[in-house]
């Protein structure tokens, strides 16, 4: 028996011990259990108690918090507001980001300065949301610069439409750059040969977009949609900082997270009631995210997502090449 034989034997013995996998994932698992899973469970527990920060004792009150929540006009309003603000900023956000990324990645246009544009569009995302909110508050305040442009001054933050509009605009302006980058990355990773062959076959730009770009971009789109949904349902900083932190005027920019924060920061600090809002947000987000993933799930068994026509042509081309 040579030395190498012994070595092989020893190494084999070690290799069979699969616990290395567990060991290397342990930090994540422990972190997840401690900092994500436990708080989640604890939030569910809190939501059925009347815990407040100002008293050291609490008791379980069942579903009272939820009952109160659904009786509350502000909660239903915050639910509607959150969806409205998110949808109205997400649709133009993805639309414009899509349009720009098609232009920027188009091989025929070969636009110059794409990097600069991309950086400029992304810049607002680097600013602190608090700074942006204060900036816009000052722009549109009664004695602010916007009013000085017109002969009639408007109290923008007393108008529900204006205030919501400002929040929607800020959200759009802050996030379309980030969506643009993700979409562009997705588009540049689509093999140019698809487009080449489509061009050879005389496909129009619209056809190429709907038949090649969109299907191949689907995973990226699902990702953008889900992350934006999660972010949108948790919208807090801009609407919170823009007016009085209570969704004024008339609760028009009260989002679910502001409502949750209000319950938490109320006189007694009702974290039980706040947790019930959190639970509702969690359930809504989960249901919607699952629905999106399910609806946009790849029905192509091979999982590439390319429409079969293109693919068969691609195969043919490959065969001809050989």
Partner 1 sequence: MLKRKMAFALACLMSVGLLAGCQKPSTSTTTKPSDNTPKTLKIWSFTDEVKTYALAYQKEHPEVKVEYTMIPMTNGEFQTKLKSTLQSGDVPDVVSLEISFVKEYVESTYLADISDLSPLTKDMKTYQYTLDIGSSQGKLKALSYQATPGAMFYRRSLAKKYLGTDDPVQVQAMVSDMNKFKDVAKKIKDASSGDTYMVASTGDFANLYFANRQKPWVENDKLVIDPKVNDLLDMAKEFRQNGYEAQATQWQEGWFAGMNDSLVDPATKKAKQVFSYLLPTWGLPYVLMQNGIPKDNADKTAKVGKDTTGDWACISGPMPYFWGGTYVGAIKNAKNLDTAKDFIKFMTLNETTLKNWATGVYNNAYLKAIDNTIGDTLGQGPGDFVSSQKVVDSIVSSFDNSDASKFIGGQNSYKAFQAAAPSINAKLIQASDDAIQRALNDPMANYASGKGTKEETIKAFKEAVKNALPDVKVD
Kindly list the residues in this chain that would bind partner 1 in the complex (CB under 8 A).
14, 23-24, 26-27, 30-31, 34, 53-56, 65, 68, 72-75, 141-144, 147-148, 150-153, 155, 158, 240, 244-246, 248-251, 259, 262-270, 273
Tell me the closest approach of the beta carbon of residue 56 to partner 1, in angstroms.
6
Nearest to 234 by CA among 128, 36, 82, 43: 82
Q: Which is nearer to partner 1, 55 or 189 (CB)?
A: 55
Bridge partners (DSSP) listed for residue 60: 49
Distance from the Cα of residue 276 to its chain's centroid: 22
DSSP state of 154: -
Q: What would the two tokens of residue 160 be? A: 């529900």
- To partner 1, the closest distance from the beta carbon of 10 in angstroms equals 10
Give, in degrees to the nearest 5, the angle at Cα 287 between 164 and 82. 10
How many CA atoms lie less than 13 Å away from 90 in the CB half-sphere?
A: 18
Residue closer to partner 1 (CB basis): 265 or 312: 265
CA distance 173 to 88: 12
Nearer to partner 1 by C-beta: 15 or 116? 15
- Cβ 146 to partner 1 shortest distance, Å: 9
CB of residue 68 to partner 1, shortest distance in Å: 6
CB of 72 to partner 1, least distance (A): 6
Instruction: Give the nearest distance from C-beta 88 to partner 1 in angstroms.
Output: 22
Cα–Cα distance, 169 to 133 (Å, whole number): 11
Smallest separation (angstroms) from partner 1 to the CB of 30: 5
User: CB under 8 Å to 71, separation ≥6 — which residues?
Assistant: none
Cβ 8 to partner 1, closest distance in Å?
Answer: 14
Q: What one-character DSSP code corresponds to residue 49?
A: B
In the complex with partner 1, which residue's Cβ is closer, 9 or 268?
268
- The tokens describing 143, both together, are 């004695």
Number of neighbouring beta carbons within 10 Å of residue 293: 13
Q: How far apart are CA 16 and CA 138, in angstroms?
A: 65
∠ Cα 86 87 88 (to 5°): 95
Nearer to partner 1, 16 or 56 (CB): 56
Residue (98 or 279) nearer to partner 1, CB = 279
Count of helix runs (H) and strand runs (E) in the chain:
16, 0
Name which of 186 and 249 has its Cβ closer to partner 1: 249
Peptide bond into 280 cis (omega under 30): no
Between 56 and 302, CB nearer to partner 1: 56
């Amino acid at each position: 028996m040579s030395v190498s034989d012994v070595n092989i034997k020893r190494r084999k013995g070690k290799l069979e011990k699969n616990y290395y996998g567990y060991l290397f994932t342990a930090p994540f698992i422990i972190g997840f259990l401690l900092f994500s899973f436990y708080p989640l469970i604890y939030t569910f527990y809190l939501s059925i108690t009347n815990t407040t920060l100002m008293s050291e004792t609490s008791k379980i009150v069942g579903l009272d918090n939820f009952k109160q929540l659904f009786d509350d006009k502000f909660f239903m309003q915050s639910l509607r507001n959150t969806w409205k603000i998110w949808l109205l900023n997400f649709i133009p956000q993805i639309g414009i980001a899509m349009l720009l990324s098609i232009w920027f990645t188009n091989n025929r246009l070969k636009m110059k300065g794409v990097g600069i544009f991309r950086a400029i569009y992304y810049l607002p995302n680097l600013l602190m949301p608090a700074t942006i909110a204060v900036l816009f508050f000052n722009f549109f305040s009664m004695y602010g610069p916007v009013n000085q442009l017109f002969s009639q001054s408007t109290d923008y933050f007393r108008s529900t439409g204006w205030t919501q509009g400002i929040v929607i605009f800020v959200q759009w302006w802050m996030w379309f750059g980030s969506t643009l980058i993700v979409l562009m990355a997705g588009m540049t990773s689509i093999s140019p040969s698809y487009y080449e062959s489509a061009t050879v076959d005389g496909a129009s730009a619209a056809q190429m977009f709907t038949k090649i770009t969109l299907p191949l971009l689907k995973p990226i789109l699902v990702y953008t949609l889900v992350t934006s949904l999660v972010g949108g349902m948790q919208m807090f900083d801009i609407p919170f900082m823009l007016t009085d932190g209570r969704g004024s005027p008339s609760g028009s920019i009260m989002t679910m997270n502001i409502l949750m924060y209000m319950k938490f920061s109320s006189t007694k600090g009702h974290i039980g009631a706040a947790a019930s809002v959190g639970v509702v947000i969690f359930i809504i987000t989960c249901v919607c995210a699952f629905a999106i993933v399910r609806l946009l799930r790849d029905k192509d068994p091979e999982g590439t997502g390319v429409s079969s026509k293109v693919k068969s042509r691609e195969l043919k081309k490959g065969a001809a090449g050989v």
